[in-house]
Amino acid sequence: MSRSKVTLAGVELKNPVIPASGTFGYGREYEKFYPLSRLGGISVKGTTETLRTGNLPPRIAETPSGMLNSVGLQNPGIDHFIAEELPYLKTKDIAVIANMAGRDIEGYRVIAEKLDSTDVDMIEVNISCPNVKAGGAAFGVSCEGAAAVTKAVRAATKKPVMVKLSPNVTNIADIARAVEAEGADAVSLINTLLGMRIDIRTRRPVLRNNVGGLSGPAVFPVAVRMVWQVANAVKIPVCGMGGISTWQDAVEMMMAGATAVQVGAAIFNDPYAPVKIAEGIERYCEDNGIADISEIVGSVEPW
């Protein structure tokens, strides 16, 4: 797929398609369907300082054109990831993006410092998860908080740093500029939109956490808009996500300004979705005489 190679903050990807953090685990289950090497990269399950069991169930619910989740960053912790998951992933000929989240500034620094001595290709800093009652969500909703986390992570590692932004803000472009100023090499967006549903029979929210993150096709137009706004506000590359289900969605997101894309909720409906999207992008290039997919990045012409 030579036409669809991209470089994201100095990291070379065979194609621009990356399974989004929290939707693909560490890729082990999906190897039953296809080699991970057919993907551009993998953003692993969000990693914290220590083991987290996550939120109490029910913590996933379907919605029209999407889903609500409140998993709560369930994961085995950074030490387990480095010792057990990373060596496995580094044998798969795929760029490994270590998604991480801390409960406080020091937590982010500690995780980044540990990842710095590993061979992960990039660190994705989650400052936007709406499902954790303490930690990440508080930092992503203000320029000051986002900048403080980015500054701490940047000081702790020489790895490329990509900051994952929350859509649950007044002006996402301001947040993007704040993290760029503190040394972020890229930004990824959008994380899930905060949502809620109520069971009218029980009069209780459908999620035990009451609220959760909305993802899936329903959020795609919002994601395209925010990617376009951020791409026009910063000079660092953008990794776009939010409701991408088809290769056409991916191409549209790239035209809005995304250098690469992440695919999340679509994987639950079709585990082959990331591969189909990557292959579709390659065919699109061939059919339209595009020698390098990067040619379309930010190519939208507003009225």
List the catalytic residues: 129
Residue 7 identity (one-letter amino acid): T
147-182 burial by CB neighbour count: b if 16+ within 10 A, else e? bbbbbbbbebbebbbbbbbbbbbeebbebbbbbbeb
State the angle between helix axes of 172-181 and 220-231 in degrees (0 to 180), rounded to the nearest 10: 50
258 and 238 in contact (C-beta within 8 Å)? yes
Burial degree of 30 (CB within 10 A; 0-12, 13-18, 19+): buried
CA-CA distance, 37 to 4, in Å (whole number)?
14
Helix (H, G, I), strand (E, B), or coil: what is residue 190? Answer: coil
* Alpha helices, DSSP H, located in 25-89: 78-80, 86-89
